[in-house]
Amino acid sequence: MNAEYLVTGGAGFIGSNTVRYLLGRGARVRVLDDFSTGRRENLAGLEKDIELLEGDIRDPAAARSATAGVRYVLHMAAIPSVPRSIEDPMTTSDVNIKGTLNMLIAARDADVERFVQSSSSSVYGDTAVLPKREDMIPAPMSPYALSKLVNEHQCRLFYELYGLKTCALRYFNVYGPRQNPKSQYAAVVPIFIDAFGKGRAPVIYGDGLQTRDFTYVENVIEANLACCAAPESTLGQVFNIGCGRRMTVNELAELLVRIMGKSIAPQYAPARQGDVRDSQADVSKAARALGWTPRVGVEDGLRRTVEWFLSPS
């Protein structure tokens, strides 16, 4: 089929939720994934509804096949973990930077209408000023964060040099259904839900007073689609995508305990290298330029996420 949207990394957490959202709106969707971090079960039941290409974003032939005939590229494929990037910076750089460059070239040559890059709040580093604004000087603290910053500049250059219509979205601590709690590099929300659901105490790294702007995945999906329809004045730019509210990791644990009806106290371990202390998004630029605001608040999103994780599969 001739797809309207290409979702790279479509078997991953954010990607698979995006695929399902698009299908629910009647869109034609193509997925490119090599299943190195994405999971086939995330696309279970969709096999007849999508065009699935199994391939590596670093492979020019795979990138050309994936972008052929599509209008919009939602580029989510990446090695996603800060700790993993510290352990293996070469692979993170190779996949995230080289792979994205390869996808940009293919998208340019295929004359796609929009290329939306998934970036990360980690590009800001551990700056003391809150909330984080797009005009702040980035200070990445990990190879992962650095790769995302490089990709933002690659997108800007491809717009300025070649006219490829790009945007980059700096996601803040995304959570939701299909986020893998069993990975060695799993994020905090699915880890906590999995632990509480099994009656175990989750581990908090550091004192738990570090803050995060937890963002429900549907807010991120809607921001990506807003980029596809945004005016020309937004092109080549970056935008924060969060809720604009910060919560300590201790408060997150307490909220999940209430939602899940548990009475389990977390355990504490030393802070991890590369983790920032505080994070909060200023989302006013996205509101002005993209017409986007987060519809789903933190508590509502956490309740939806818990319901999904605890529902019979």
Q: Which residue has the tokens 């175990």?
A: 200
Is the CB of residue 47 less than 8 Å from the CB of residue 90? no
Q: Go through 263-284 and write b for each residue having 16 or more CB atoms within 10 A of its CB, e for each that does not.
A: ebebeeeeeeebbbebbbbbbe
**CA dihedral over 195, 199, 203, 208, signed as positive or negative:** positive
* Length, in residues, of the chain: 313
Is the CB of residue 266 less than 8 Å from the CB of residue 201? yes
Residues annotated catalytic, as ranges: 144
Q: Which residue has the tokens 């005016």?
A: 231
Using DSSP bridges, classify how beta strands 211-212 and 247-248 pair: parallel, antiparallel or unpaired: antiparallel
Is the CB of residue 184 less than 8 Å from the CB of residue 37? no
Q: How far apart are CA 33 and CA 76, in angstroms?
A: 10
